[in-house]
Structure 1
Amino acid sequence: MKKARIIGTGSYVPEKVLTNFDLEKTLDTTDEWIVARTGIHERHVAAEGEFTSDLATNAARKALEMAGVAAEEIDLIVVGTITGDFPWPATACLVQSNLGIKGCAAFDVSAACSGFLYALDAATKQIQSGAVKKALVIGAEVLTRAIDWQDRNTCVLFGDGAGAVVLEAQEGDQGVLSTHLHADGSYWELLYQPGFGSRFPASAEGLAERLPFLKMQGNEVFKVAVRSLHEVAVEALEANGLVASDIDLFIPHQANRRILEATAKRLGLRDEQVYINVDRFGNTSGASIPIALDEANRLGRIKAGDMLLFDAFGGGFTWAAAMVRW
């Protein structure tokens, strides 16, 4: 059975940078408070007229360029997002149109911050089945339009961006070795966006109650996130007969620095094994892992044969991991 090998990476973040000092001007908060609790110094914010599909398309083009693959060679597009341009059609279809492709399958995956790994799993399975030869997998979010800028506990956390990979069916031992997906819907009220869906359809009353904006019980999310991230990472290691010291680079979902450090400590990873860029991008949800992967790749932090471990946790609750031999 052929493996799904990552042959190109790409990422894109909006030009506008919003620093903690900028937030001090409109919120009862300080740079010191934000950094101490999250490790975040700044985040990128989409410009007016810039949408999730735009970010995703830009990241995709960079990944295609690195891979040396023409857009028309792509057989499948999967986008992990919870902030698509529209409730429907899928953002993947808009990306397909932007790239000038017609006919290949294109769909979105809604798994919050685990979205990229859920999308990676879907595309990998299609390649392993023989149905697809080349796939484009994207994580993209414009979360700054889904957060309450009056809530200092949540709005300081999130940023916008997109990351993408090109997968190709190849023989050999390089590629996605395993993916591990989990969910527990009983936790849904700890992290969700109430409106506007079928439960709370669009209304003036709902807008006044700020239903379109993300709601989170941060302390409870933290506890479950650290436990789940650790457990699924161990599951991925054991499935491949590996231990923590075998990992060349651990690329977790960039939620906040405290969660990343707690997870790495539980796994027994050294600082040099862990890639962290949450300080510069904030939490970009489903985009965070592919953005970090592309950055690490372009900085030369990854070489052929390296073992990479991806790890994510998000609303749902969902959590996932993937083991990749570069």
Structure 2
Amino acid sequence: MRRAVLLGTGSALPARRVSNAELAETVDTSDDWIVERTGIRFRHIASPDETTGTLGCDAAKAALAAAGKRADEIDLIVLATATPDQTFPATATKIQAMLGINDCVAFDVGAVCSGFLYAIQVADSMIRGGVATRALVIGSETFSRILDWEDRATCVLFGDGAGAVVLEAQDVAEDGPGILTTKLHADGRHNELLYVDGGPSTTGTVGKVRMKGREVFRHAVTNLASVMDESLGAIGLTAADVDWVVPHQANARILDATARKLGLPAEKVVVTVDQHANTSAASVPLALDAASRDGRIKPGQIVVLEAMGGGFTWGAAVLRT
């Protein structure tokens, strides 16, 4: 059967690394307050010359190197981002140009923190349908550009960064590698719980992130556990079959609560939120790259990717490495 097989991963982080202690010098907060409520200890903040496009390009180059592929072998680029370089054109086309690719399908997907899962399903569908042979799927964000640095309830939570994967169409056996299933959801009734208070067609401004954290936490635990059960059930697997869960890195308490709800041991959950904070669409591929490069994720394993973000949107993907 034709599947989208993961060939390589890559990531990129801004040079500036900001600790909770440094943040507390300008924000009414403390290291203890942030760690206790979120598990976050550091985040990376982009400089003026580091953008969603440049970070995404660097992550893509790292993924291509890991996959052993040239940029001109890519025929599809799907970029998940809520912080594009420009209103238009798509930042994916800027990354395409930076990579030196003269012609391939390239576009952005906007589903905030779930964006990478949405982008994975789009690429997987196009590969299975024969539209694409080799794809770069990227999550890249510069959330620091849309934070209200006087709102300690939100500004301490987010960071900047990018992650990428290379997927390739391969004919494999049923028990072979590749993306086994993806499940996506959205419920726009909850817009007011996590949103940006601006936009081209409303205020004509970029706006800032606004969030009601307690309500988001409650929905996240319920929705993430549900979509992971749904995804595994669709292919006849259970939590016991999972080698690794690579979740959206929003909050350590959400990760712990979701794992408990599913009966998953904490040691099977990849956690990078302490080092990167919440990087929105970049968080899943950043964590995936970290666990791939340090040897935790090995060939033949079952890996679940999952995320929930503003909208609300949420989703999960199951793959065999």
Aligned position for 2:203: 200
Aligned position for 1:190: 193
Aligned position for 1:282: 277
Q: Which amino acid aligns with 2:312?
A: F
Deviations along 1:3-32, whole A, 9 cap, x unmatched? 000101000111101110011111111100
Query: Which residue, 236, 244, 257 being the options, matches 1:241?
Result: 236
Q: Secondary structure, in 3 states, of the residue corresponding to 1:28?
A: coil
Matches within 5 A, 1:53-64: 53-64=53-64
Q: Quote the RMSD (CA, aligned, Å).
A: 0.8
Deviations along 1:25-55, whole A, 9 cap, x unmatched? 1111110000000000010011121110000
Distance 2:186 2:102 in 1: 33
Aligned position for 2:210: 215
In the alignment, is residue 130 of structure 1 matched against residue 130 of structure 2?
yes
Q: Secondary structure, in 3 states, of the residue corresponding to 1:21?
A: helix
Q: Secondary structure, in 3 states, of the residue corresponding to 1:11?
A: strand
Distance 1:122 1:320 in 2: 13
Q: Which amino acid aligns with 2:246?
A: I
Q: Secondary structure, in 3 states, of the residue corresponding to 1:4?
A: strand
Q: Which runs of 4+ in 1 moved over 2 A?
A: none
Q: Secondary structure, in 3 states, of the residue corresponding to 2:180?
A: strand
Q: Which amino acid aligns with 1:188?
A: N
Q: Which amino acid aligns with 2:181?
A: S
Deviations along 1:184-233, whole A, 9 cap, x unmatched? 0010111111213201124xxxxxxxx71101111111111111001000
Q: Secondary structure, in 3 states, of the residue corresponding to 2:64?
A: helix
Matches within 5 A, 1:156-167: 156-167=156-167
Deviations along 1:70-94, whole A, 9 cap, x unmatched? 1011010000000010111111000
Distance 1:309 1:148 in 2: 33
Aligned position for 1:178: 181
Aligned position for 1:206: none
Instruction: In structure 2, list runs of 5 or more residues that go unmatched.
Output: none
User: How many residues are matched?
Assistant: 318
Aligned position for 2:286: 291
Aligned position for 2:320: 325
Distance 1:215 1:102 in 2: 39
Distance 2:266 2:37 in 1: 19
Q: Secondary structure, in 3 states, of the residue corresponding to 2:28?
A: coil
In the alignment, is residue 40 of structure 1 matched against residue 40 of structure 2?
yes
Q: Percent identity?
A: 53
Q: Which amino acid aligns with 1:275?
A: V
Q: Which amino acid aligns with 1:224?
A: H
Aligned position for 1:250: 245
